[in-house]
Amino acid sequence: MNEDPNTTNRLSELRKRISSWRKEKQRIVLVPTMGALHNGHLSLVDLAHGLGDKVIVSLFVNPKQFGANEDLDLYPRDIEGDLAALARHSVDLVYMPELDQIYPPGFATTISVSGISQGLCTDTRPDFFDGVATIVTKLFLHCQPDLAVFGEKDYQQLMVVRRLVRDLDLPIEVVGGPIVRADDGLALSSRNAYLSKRERASAPLLHKILAQTAQRLKEGLVMQKACSPGVHKLAKAGFELDYFELRDALNLTPLRQLDEMPARLLIAARLGDTRLIDNIAVMR
């Protein structure tokens, strides 16, 4: 087994590798990450292997997607663990750009995707999707992938990236990878590391409420009625809800109830100092 995946923090080196792969007609798949990898990320890497010939994983904690009072300094980092995991998953290249490679002095450009970025996570994290769209655009330009894989856990992010790629005619296929959950249902997330033992024991309630609400929607209740027992249970268990919404799965238009189009139930809540997000598909 390869114990030491190829890594680079230099754009020139990355470009050299990409151009030699291109000459060999290899299909390149990018999995962008902020590190602190868990099995959710690694499932995206495995998915990427099935989609193309060469897999690049980027590790970059992007300051532009953190608000002034958010957890940039605390965000978990584990380069050694990440590289060992990526070697086990046979990644062809790990791209770990330095901060000033991505944002050199005087950097003044922001990519902003309107419409689909509004509401949901933007209500409490107003600059988040501009930060995501800007870094993802840079990573796409640096890595020039044929495909890119993003987790469905960050469902609004996935939709923002799809819109970005469509609007800018980027020749990249965006693929969503299914959410990976712990045995008790909690969606895997690097931020789960912040949860105290007690909070970790309560956290699976979020997924349970999603599933129960989905069932009530399928029985024909409107969202306002379907979600109300869950909202109470979450409050009782100490969650502070940011949003709990039913949206069209393709364009994120708010829905009052289930109809014929595929829908997505999305939730974000704080438990202590940790913000958790989750979502599930809901079909009639």
Q: Which of residues 224-283 bind ligand PAF (CB under 6 A)?
A: none
Q: How far is the CB of 59 from ligand PAF (least distance, A)?
A: 9
42-81 residues near ligand PAF, rule: CB under 6 A: 62, 65
Binding residues with ligand PAF: total (CB under 6 A): 10
Q: Minimum distance between the CB of residue 183 and ligand PAF, rounded to whole angstroms?
A: 23
Q: With 0-12 CB in 10 A as exposed, 13-18 as middle and 19+ as buried, what is 227?
A: buried
> What is the DSSP pairing of strand 239-248 with strand 263-271?
antiparallel
Active site residue 89: no
Contact residue for ligand PAF among 7, 30, 32, 91 (CB under 6 A): 32
Residues in the chain: 284
Least Å from the CB of residue 7 to ligand PAF: 17
Binding residue (CB under 6 A) for ligand PAF from 18, 29, 30, 34: 34
C-alpha 145: how far from chain center: 18
Pairing of the two strands 93-95 and 274-282: unpaired
Asked if 130 is part of the footprint of ligand PAF (rule: CB under 6 A), the reply reads no
| Angle at 108 (CA atoms; ends 107, 109), nearest 5 degrees | 110
> Is 135 near ligand PAF (CB under 6 A)?
yes
Distances from the Cα of 124 to the Cα of 67, 192, 279, angstroms: 10, 19, 17
Residue 178 · residue 43 · CB < 8 Å: yes
| Residue of 38, 41, 89, 232 with catalytic role | 41
Q: How far apart are CA 52 and CA 113, in angstroms?
A: 28
d(CA 185, CA 181): 5
Shortest Å, Cβ 233 to ligand PAF: 28
Nearer to ligand PAF, 214 or 264 (CB): 264
Residues forming the site for ligand PAF (CB under 6 A):
32-34, 62, 65, 132, 135-136, 154, 157
**So which residues are the catalytic ones?**
41
